[in-house]
Amino acid sequence: MNTIKRFFTDRDSLASLLVTVFAGLFSLLAGIVLIFIVSKNPIQSTRNFLLAPFLRSYNFYYLLIVMVPITFTGLALCIIYQLRYMSMIVDASFYTGAVVATAIGTQLNLPPGIHPAVAMLAAGAVGGLIGLLPAILRIKWRANELVSSLMLNYVFYFFGSFIILYFLRDRSQTILSSVPFKESFRLPRLVENTQLHAGFIIAAVFVVLVSLFLFRTRWGYEIRLTGANQKFAYYAGLPVTSIILYAHFISGFLGGVGGAVEMAGLYRAFIWQMNPSYAWDGVIVAMLARKNPRFVPISALFFAYLRVGADFMSRRGDVAFEFITLLQGLIILILASDRIVNYFKERRLKRQVLSRTGASEGGSR
């Protein structure tokens, strides 16, 4: 409660909140303009886009389901961004995590409950190790982590689909599909006759865990300190290298678990024909949340709302679903523009400084 109060009384946070809300509203507006440009039936399409979750109960549950993977990738990227790194390797962690979970979900026989848990841990561990790679390349050889992670994403994507195709494929299916998961692997449903699965609760738990980790533990503090000023952290005697490494491991771990949860919760088999790339949605979730895991559920809700709206609209009209990616890019552009955010801060700072110097001019000097 206290933090919330502090948040709203702190003008800087309020300024960034305003810009964030502005970015969200602007993207909605831009979306509507685009709909009016291309759609033959713009009113209907706009209605479907904006009100999708309230028009069908299916859409409402779908909204909650979509929140799950982007919460995981959003949390993972929050940690990376707290560190002021730009690695996108969560994409590979998530995809490979799903592949690892598929292997465990189809090949092992374990009791229900334990089966998905084992899969999540294994997927998380693999995801975490993958998450380390760009960080190691950066620390050891100063290779830009964004560039290397994007390359690695391609490598791991092709490698993962190779594993599915050559070791886990269901040959009776015409489309690419793994053999079906064991029944014990699947997560229970939260509401009968919907697809809403226990992964939603797992995601919520992870939001709490990551928030506590980042703001209530020494390790989280060290990550934030290293991100705020790496040289300072170094000279203060912090083991900067290992901080960077474990932050990346945890980030990749979250990605891997996310992939496993998605598999165990939503599917009967691995049926991704291409990489769903939830990491890119994670970028926007983390940025809208201002890299604070506590706000991840809110921004995930917002982005899931956009996604579900776009999906519903495209299935019932003539506007392509991909326009969501377009909006996504626009939001990032606005949020990345420091000058827009800083405009408010600077103006207030200037006023403060001016009034202060004006008041103390006669006295202290």
Q: Closest CB to other proteins among 13 and 342?
A: 342
SS3 197: strand
Q: Among residues 159, 215, 221, 344, which is the contact residue for other proteins, using CB under 8 A?
A: 159
Q: Closest CB to other proteins among 292 and 328?
A: 328
Q: Closest CB to other proteins among 34 and 204?
A: 34
Q: CA-CA distance, 213 to 141, in Å (whole number)?
A: 29
Q: Is 329 in the site for other proteins (CB under 8 A)?
A: yes
Q: CA-CA distance, 305 to 222, in Å (whole number)?
A: 34
In order, the DSSP letters of 138-157 are: HHHH---HHHHHHHHHHHHH
Q: Is 325 in the site for other proteins (CB under 8 A)?
A: yes
- Bridge partners of residue 197, in order along the sequence: 189
Q: Among residues 16, 44, 184, 342, which is the contact residue for other proteins, using CB under 8 A?
A: 342
Q: CA-CA distance, 103 to 96, in Å (whole number)?
A: 10
SS3 178: strand
Q: Closest CB to other proteins among 304 and 324?
A: 324
- Bridge partners of residue 169, in order along the sequence: 178
Q: Among residues 8, 36, 54, 235, which is the contact residue for other proteins, using CB under 8 A?
A: 235
Other beta carbons less than 10 A from residue 360's beta carbon: 10
Q: Closest CB to other proteins among 17 and 146?
A: 146
User: Rule CB under 8 A: which of 190-219 touch other proteins?
Assistant: none
Q: CA-CA distance, 176 to 289, in Å (whole number)?
A: 36
Contact 222, 243 (CB under 8 A): yes
Q: CA-CA distance, 82 to 114, in Å (whole number)?
A: 33
Q: How far is the CB of 236 from other proteins (least distance, A)?
A: 11
Q: CA-CA distance, 12 to 19, in Å (whole number)?
A: 11
Q: Among residues 57, 144, 217, 360, which is the contact residue for other proteins, using CB under 8 A?
A: 144
User: Rule CB under 8 A: which of 271-300 touch other proteins?
Assistant: 280, 283
Q: Closest CB to other proteins among 58 and 234?
A: 234
Q: Is 29 in the site for other proteins (CB under 8 A)?
A: no
Q: What angle do CA 57, 60, 63 make, to 5 degrees?
A: 155
Q: Is 143 in the site for other proteins (CB under 8 A)?
A: yes
In order, the DSSP letters of 72-127 are: HHHHHHHHHHHTT----THHHHHHHHHHHHHHHHHH----TTHHHHHHHHHHHHHH
User: How many binding residues for other proteins (CB under 8 A)?
Assistant: 58
Q: Among residues 91, 145, 262, 311, which is the contact residue for other proteins, using CB under 8 A?
A: 145
- Give the interface segment with other proteins, choosing from 108-116, 188-196, 236-244, 352-360 (CB under 8 A): 236-244
Q: Which of 280, 282, 340, 288 has the alpha carbon at shortest distance from 27?
A: 288
Q: How far is the CB of 152 from other proteins (least distance, A)?
A: 7
Q: How far is the CB of 109 from other proteins (least distance, A)?
A: 28
Q: How far is the CB of 115 from other proteins (least distance, A)?
A: 27
Q: CA-CA distance, 327 to 34, in Å (whole number)?
A: 10
Q: Is 86 in the site for other proteins (CB under 8 A)?
A: yes
Three-state SS annotation for 41-84 = CHHHHHHHHHHHHHHCHHHHHHHHHHHHHHHHHHHHHHHHHHCC
Q: Among residues 41, 332, 344, 345, which is the contact residue for other proteins, using CB under 8 A?
A: 332
Q: Closest CB to other proteins among 32 and 190?
A: 32
Q: Closest CB to other proteins among 114 and 336?
A: 336
Q: Which residues bind other proteins (CB under 8 A)?
A: 34, 38, 86, 88, 137-148, 150-152, 154-155, 157-159, 161-162, 165-166, 230-231, 234-235, 240-241, 244, 280, 283, 318-320, 322-333, 336-340, 342
